[in-house]
Amino acid sequence: MPRRTHWFKRERIRDVKTAGCGQCAQASRSAGGARSTRRRADAGRFASHRGTGFALGEKTCDMARSPTRSHARAAGFAGYQDIGPPLRISDEARSMIKHAILGLMLFCLSPLALAQDEVFDVHVHLWHGEKSLKEYYAQLEAEHQPVARHSGIYMAIKGETQENRRKNDELIALSKRYPKLMPIASVHPLDGQVAIDELKRLAGLGVKAIKLHPHTQRFDITDPQVRALCKLAGELGVAVLFDNFNIVPGDNQNLFNLAVGLPKTQFIFAHMGGLDFRFWNSLFLARTAKDFFFDNIHFDISATVALVADSPVEPEFVWTIRNVGIDNVMLGSDYPQLSLKQAGDALEKLDLSAEEKRKIRWGNANKLFGGKR
């Protein structure tokens, strides 16, 4: 039932007391709002009150149950000021407002709010350098997506060694001007010695990761040159972000073999296998084999998370995330194909704890890539 309340200036309550109105206490209720008036009524001359009305002595005022402006006038309080039309707030609405205010207070103090900007988007393609970066930032702002760090990916083209080097330098230069940007440079594994030299140069410039894409760059994961390049990356402390959407048949198996053969190289398998993610549950068992598996396989769940959230396979995806290791999974958008908001919203839907999500959103990538903001 809606509760009717009139709002009058507070001085009316003083008038009520000094005037010693014996008619009813309802005007005082109108004057100060039910709750405050009850306290005042208790403290003042209104000896008792009950329910929604007030009583003076033994006499209960009937009109107190349906207060009106005219009643306040009728009560004889000269000079009362009506400061607005009746405000009707239902009990449900009151309760909702109370909870909203309480929730806001709790949120402001919660670790989630404090960590609101702690997002590391590990999968961002900057196809057109600074132009793409500005567009990415504009999208983040438009969609209210605070980001503490993010990657910027380039993918080398076979044989175009000068252009690849120029693009890598462009990316590194951008990261100096935009401190949130972590460059993920690239070489083409089939460019032989040029690729080896470029990788060494990149490591010397502080690059922490390179991107390889067997489908787009058109190479075979099992090629010995790929292995040699990845081995060197491990020795130089450069992680390898490898596409793993299983566009190329056998991706999962080939990448698994590559990673277990190169335990010093940190691999990040992008998209966690796409819809073939189920394969990676085998890591749970691989860890139990003595001297076989090393903890050098990580995943980003870019694109795939947006696909599986709210899908029939969502619980399996969550099960896989835990089996590959909650400390080895990172959030990425795969911008510009998908936005960070899509990735973040999808992650929120997964049945993972707040701490697990925080690791995926920020902690794991921050740890892998050197722990600086």
**Amino acid sitting at position 199:** L
Task: Give residue number: closest CB to Zn ion.
Answer: 334
Asked if 334 touches Zn ion (CB under 5 A), the answer is yes
Asked if 198 touches Zn ion (CB under 5 A), the answer is no
Cβ of residue 119: shortest distance to Zn ion, in angstroms? Answer: 17
How many Cβ atoms are within 10 Å of 146's Cβ, its own excluded? 11
Contact between 265 and 297 (Cβ < 8 Å): no
Q: Which is nearer to Zn ion, 241 or 297 (CB)?
A: 241
Q: Which is nearer to Zn ion, 15 or 334 (CB)?
A: 334
Phi-psi region of 363 (alpha: psi -120 to 50; beta: other; left: phi over 0): alpha
Reference 274, options 306, 239, 296, 319; nearest CA is: 306
Cβ of residue 334: shortest distance to Zn ion, in angstroms? Answer: 4
Asked if 121 touches Zn ion (CB under 5 A), the answer is no
State how far the Cα of 198 lies from the Cα of 180, in Å rounded to an integer: 24
Binning the chain into helix, strand and coil, the percentages to the nearest 5 are 50, 15, 35
Determine the interface stretch with Zn ion among 35-43, 183-191, 316-324, 332-340 (rule: CB under 5 A): 332-340
Determine the interface stretch with Zn ion among 64-72, 142-150, 191-199, 328-336 (rule: CB under 5 A): 328-336
Cβ of residue 180: shortest distance to Zn ion, in angstroms? Answer: 19
Cβ of residue 125: shortest distance to Zn ion, in angstroms? Answer: 6
Q: Which is nearer to Zn ion, 75 or 343 (CB)?
A: 343
Q: Which is nearer to Zn ion, 10 or 215 (CB)?
A: 215
What are φ and ψ of residue 257, in 5° steps? -65, -40
State how far the Cα of 273 lies from the Cα of 268, in Å rounded to an integer: 11
Cβ of residue 188: shortest distance to Zn ion, in angstroms? Answer: 17
- Site for Zn ion, rule CB under 5 A: 334
